[in-house]
Chains A and B, each alone.
Chain A
């Protein structure tokens, strides 16, 4: 009996099915919990699902690569999901056109703050150079951030983790911060969340309203664009590329 169980385990561990199914099950559990606590941001479903999976993989002594062989099918959907953001964006087009100037101003200020403050604070507290380079693009969506980190000599997989952490933090703190400074327009709230906390923030913004979600998606897309264009140029201009 034990050996046949082991056989099943060996078989399952070698197929993508297990990693894929576990990801969905962990997310379902995390989402169920999230709904139970009335969407309290501290129990962010990404955070809980990651914690469940890391615990499970560690206990069963499974390597990340084995897990990712299955989970990559979920990871892949980040691409089409980014393209799909065009749809809610189009629905807000009228508003977007009126807000063009404020949006560009917010974007440039936000994109600079996101990279600059992370690098300066990390540097002051003694983070290593490789960690700083992995940290710099943390506010933009995973595939883009990983590409930038790789080009500059950071660690793409560390960047992925920092990007997800930023998203969770942003989703947790956004409402409190924006309430504290009395910003009530859904367009501004959503855009700020999207610029600072990419897709996880956008998912949170969609819970506020369709409009906040659309502007968060816009902020996420534009910040990916701005950071991808500006940051490598600044980096080389200051001669850090050495």
Chain B
């Protein structure tokens, strides 16, 4: 587990360094993820240790958003005065994004030919 965590941190560190060095507009962890993905492709797989650790972290991904969410305390005033536009914008936009993404992907799938959706069921 410690080995796997070390690997994850090293890739994040490389990602963050590349972002700063090259002035990329993309966040470091995303670059780290792409690099680890490429490494797994080249190596032909993840070690059982890495697989278990990744699964362990991702199983409780929601936990990691809690501290940022509590930050709502800092914006109680703004949220109170602009709650309607904020709430309606979030709700409509989230619904629209899910629909548009799913329907576009589905349309493209049927255009591509064989509905790859079938082998999911």
B side interface size, CB within 8 A: 79
CA distance A79 to B106 in the complex (A): 31
Contact with A along B79-121 (1 / 0, CB 8 A): 1001011101111111111111111111111001000111011
Check if B70 sits within 8 Å of A50, measured CB to CB: yes
Q: A residues 158-193 with Cβ under 8 Å of B?
A: 158, 160-167, 169-170, 173-174, 177-178, 181, 183-189, 191-193
Cα(A63)–Cα(B120), bound, Å? 48
A9 at the interface (CB under 8 A from B): no
Q: From DSSP, what is the main secondary structure of chain A's interface residues?
A: helix
Q: Interface on A for B, CB 8 Å cutoff? A: 23-24, 26-27, 31, 44-47, 49-50, 53-54, 57-58, 64, 67-68, 71-72, 74-75, 77-90, 93, 95, 98-99, 101-103, 105-107, 109-110, 113-114, 117-119, 121-122, 124-128, 131, 135, 138-139, 141-144, 147, 155, 157-158, 160-167, 169-170, 173-174, 177-178, 181, 183-189, 191-193, 195-197, 199-200, 202-203, 206, 211, 213, 217, 219, 221, 224-225, 228-229, 232
Interchain residue pairs with CB less than 8 A apart (23): A26-B66, A27-B60, A53-B70, A82-B29, A83-B12, A84-B58, A90-B45, A105-B104, A105-B108, A106-B102, A106-B105, A114-B93, A117-B93, A131-B86, A167-B65, A173-B94, A178-B102, A185-B117, A187-B116, A188-B105, A200-B65, A225-B26, A228-B27
